[in-house]
Amino acid sequence: MTPVSEHDERPTREAIIDLDALRHNVRRLRELTGVGELIVVVKADAYGHGAEAIARAAVEAGADRLGVADIAEGVALRAAGVTAPILAWLHGPQAAFGSALDAGLDLGLSSVAQLDRVIEAARDRPSVVPVVQFKLETGLSRNGAAEADWPELFQAAAAAEAAGLVRVDGLFSHVSNTSTGDDRAAAVRFERGVALATEAGLAPRSLHLAASAAALGEPTLRYDAVRLGLAVYGLSPFEPTEDAGRSADAFGLRPVMTLRATVAAVRRVEPGVGVSYDYSYRTSTATTLALIPLGYADGVPRSASNAGPVVINGRRYRVCGRIAMDQFVVDVGDDAVAVGDDAVLFGDPASGAPRVEEWAEAAGTINYELVTRIGPRVVRTTRERS
């Protein structure tokens, strides 16, 4: 990521990443959750924000551990010089456990087969004792060890730990965020797993079940640690139609990403002119059209055509016509808009930018997807006071 300078030429397409806001959010979430261990999730290139810069800022702000989905993400952070503990938990059949051990990653495992493969990878590394945590399936029907497999898994892990082949550091799972009842049922299953692990002779240091939604909305599910993804990026995991008391503002969180582009062209047109593919928008009067060089190849959802909000020179407009692969159009009426002006799609509402949730609503999706899908043509530029 490129540090911003007032003398730099601004990129045509840009996601401005506010690292001060990121640090603020980490500290604020520590206050809100009060847990002993804060795991900041930086998978998927830190939800589209840029994993290396986010990881460093999160650790500076007090994150105890980083979380990634797969081993390659963790190895890349190590190659960039990030030294904080990193947990990787989603592994395919060809997962490079040897590379993970060489990089000093902690591994979240979901089966005896994975445990065996980790032990085998460690045989060629006599100075390495793998640190593992076990993911338990407690109701999402995704990855994680099934309850029927827990006794075998825990017995195998206890035997391996007694032989000095692994160190079992934690147990974790995930909830569906469907309802309080569903999440409590998942917690009951999780606690059943913890009891079985203890009976087998394991003494995991860290128990964690809650990601952002449960960490903020269900205090009883926080256990020893919480895994915080979306909330760290200054966005609420709750639907905008829910209680306003659970908005990002209510939690004291600040959006980290601002998505902007430079107006590439301006044209004056007559009434009745069609705009973009299918002419789903036609001008009703003589007006000015501004061309914005962002499209669905950059992660701007086509489903937000004729709906997504854009701010230019402090005034709010809507996309007019279809969002194309590389561009979309805004009808600015008789307002003065020029080539080179900034067009802001979303960011911190305190600055006058639309909220990312407005784009999510326009596209029929969630804020998670909008920030994560921003494509590689969009330059990530870090901004901070220090």
| Residues involved in catalysis | 43, 277
How is residue 233 written in tokens? Answer: 């990026």
CA distance 327 to 298: 9
Calculate the CA dihedral of residues 7, 48, 77, 8 and round it to 10 degrees: -10
CA distances from 193 to 67, 172, 200 (A): 22, 10, 11
167-184 exposure pattern, b = at least 16 Cβ within 10 A, e = fewer: ebbbbbbbbbbeeeeebe
Q: How far, in Å, CA of 281 to CA of 112, rounded?
A: 57
Nearest to 369 by CA among 315, 293, 275, 304: 304
CA atoms within 13 A on the CB side of 124: 9
Instruction: Give CA separation, 187 vs 191, 204, 205, in Å.
Output: 6, 17, 18
Q: Does 142 show up as a binding residue in the annotation?
A: yes
CB count in 10 Å sphere of residue 380: 22
195/6 Cα distance (integer angstroms): 57
30 a known binding residue?
A: no
Point out the annotated binding site for substrate: 142, 325
**Residues annotated as binding site?**
142, 325
